[in-house]
Amino acid sequence: MTRLSVNINKLATLRNARGGNNPDVVRMALDIERFGAQGITVHPRPDERHIRQSDVRELKQVLTTEFNIEGYPNNDFIDLVLEVQPAQVTLVPDPPGVLTSNAGWDAKGQATLLKEVVARFKASGIRTSLFMGTEVEQIAHAADTGTDRIELYTEPYASTHHLDRAKAVAPFNVAAEQAARFKLGLNAGHDLDRANLAFFKANVPGLLEVSIGHALICDALTFGLDNTVQLYLRELR
């Protein structure tokens, strides 16, 4: 079964909008684990507009499922990850201030940076993943960095799924085959939701994990958090 890692950034955004500690991000992360999710994802940004470094440290102390930290590998991020020692770190090519991740790595052009950072994390026993598009040449260069996995950036699939789902998923099927060719583990994330998740999972071989935040938290406003986690798990079965 493909594992579900729930990105809790939106819960932190809601908390920060009002101040205080409501909702309690750590408590809700524990609830999400209890409801059946197999992982928790956070993406701390330099401005701490949602997840804060203090959240990351506190979550590490209490989570019992896989902890995945996403982010751009500047010095502060690297130091935080090496301190916290999550199960997985997902490197994304976001410049400071960007609203959300919107592209995969240029693994060829950024090879020196990525090889150095991947080596540091792997030396500490942290599984590494690179946020990538579907270009097969770039996936080959990602493998050269020494990364354990790649996470496919799925917004292009999600934005065209309703028009022609077979056409939308085709590049991801090819990318998955390329990842398997280079013995890379395969994750995916960005704009996956209840409408497009099952078809993606059924047509992308070797999918180990999906990271879903925005859509799942939005659905929880209607269906409740416990029920929503179950709905997403059902789509992955």
Dist CA 109 CA 112 (whole Å): 8
User: Is 190 in the active site?
Assistant: yes
Q: Which residues pair with 4 in a beta bridge?
A: 210
Catalytic entry in 50, 141, 161, 190 = 190
Number of H helices, E strands in the chain: 11, 8
Backbone angles phi, psi at 70, to 5 degrees: -100, 155
User: Is 161 in the active site?
Assistant: no
User: Is 43 in the active site?
Assistant: yes
Catalytic entry in 33, 50, 66, 70 = 70
CA atoms within 13 A of residue 46's CA, in its CB half-sphere: 11
Catalytic entry in 43, 50, 141, 161 = 43
Q: Which residues pair with 40 in a beta bridge?
A: 6, 67
Dump strand ranges (E) for the chain. 3-7, 39-42, 66-71, 88-91, 127-132, 149-153, 185-189, 207-212
Under 8 Å between Cβ of 139 and 184: yes
Under 8 Å between Cβ of 154 and 188: yes
Residues designated catalytic: 43, 70, 190
